[in-house]
Amino acid sequence: MIITFGSINLDITFPLDHMPKPGETVLGKTFLMNPGGKGANQALAAACAGADTAMVGMVGDDGFAEEALCLLKEYEVDLSQLGKSDLPTGCASIWVDQGAENSIAVASGANLSAKSTQVPDSWLTPDNRLLIQMETPIEENWKLIRRAHEKGCPVTLNVAPARYVPLDILKMIDLLIVNEGEARTIADGLDIDSEKVTRLPRYLAEKFGMKSVLTMGGAGSIFFSPDGGISTPALPIAPIDTTAAGDTFVGYLGAMLVAGKDMEEALRYASVGAGLCCMKAGSQSSVPIIEDVEAKLSSLPASKVIK
């Protein structure tokens, strides 16, 4: 099972001709309202990939909650440990320009009430995988990672949005996933050259014996473990909206690893899933199902082993 501890939001997306400058108003034609939040996006992606999935987090006692949870319910994600907060359901305003780049402002709301104790010890087993991001209270993340480590449950930490990760926590992570900006934050925390982020996965593998993935958008991803590295290309596409692409990558990767696939194959599923996500506007509504991903696997160029 994939256990996702993280944020649950309602996303309001504005397609715009260009990003507003300070003091500028940009008029758009319409908007999209979509369930979102990095935690919920990753849980949905894992469920779409065929994994038994649980989502643990908090929503408010308001009308946004039902909208934020609708797709998780549709894909039968386990919400038994979901909590209800006095704070409003999290909400994100997403601006997407004609080049498919986005800027996001988030009101965390109920996500700030999430507690690591919501995840039962009985779920933290070696056969399951815990997915954590950085949109819930940071100390609750660290408490949960420590518990999972003690129980032998592998942890995937997606350092999004970028935050400092203490050294003792890094040593408890099974798999670290970062984009280039997030990699710089990790590198700065380790006092290594943050201008050469493509070297970070190899450094983490050699220094801490850990597995890590650096995602680079259209340039694909780089993975390293103590056993070596893999360069996985991106799916050749013309993106429409990159929102939730990173979360789709994380969710698909976790689901494929729980399903028993090796890292090279799991990375290919994740890369295709993220690419297809970019072909639709919106957040969770753009996450592809497993059948669509498998149909496009042959379109992905070959991966390369890195010595």
Phi-psi region of 250 (alpha: psi -120 to 50; beta: other; left: phi over 0): alpha
To 10 degrees, what angle do helices 63-74 and 38-48 make? Answer: 20
Gyration radius of the chain's alpha carbons = 18
Alpha carbon separation from 263 to 95, 128, 240, 258, 276 (Å, rounded): 34, 16, 28, 11, 20
Q: CA 215, CA 160: separation in Å to the nearest integer?
A: 12
Q: CA 307, CA 304: separation in Å to the nearest integer?
A: 10
Alpha carbon separation from 236 to 118, 150, 220 (Å, rounded): 40, 41, 10
Give the DSSP H or E segment for 304.
strand 304-306
Query: Residues 6 or more apart from 187 whose CB is under 8 A from it?
Result: 193, 194, 197, 200
Q: What is the DSSP letter of 32?
A: E
Please indicate whether residue 247 is annotated as part of the active site: yes
| Cis geometry, peptide bond prior to residue 161 (ω within 30 degrees of 0) | yes
Could you say which of 11, 78, 241, 247 is catalytic?
247
Return the active site residues. 247
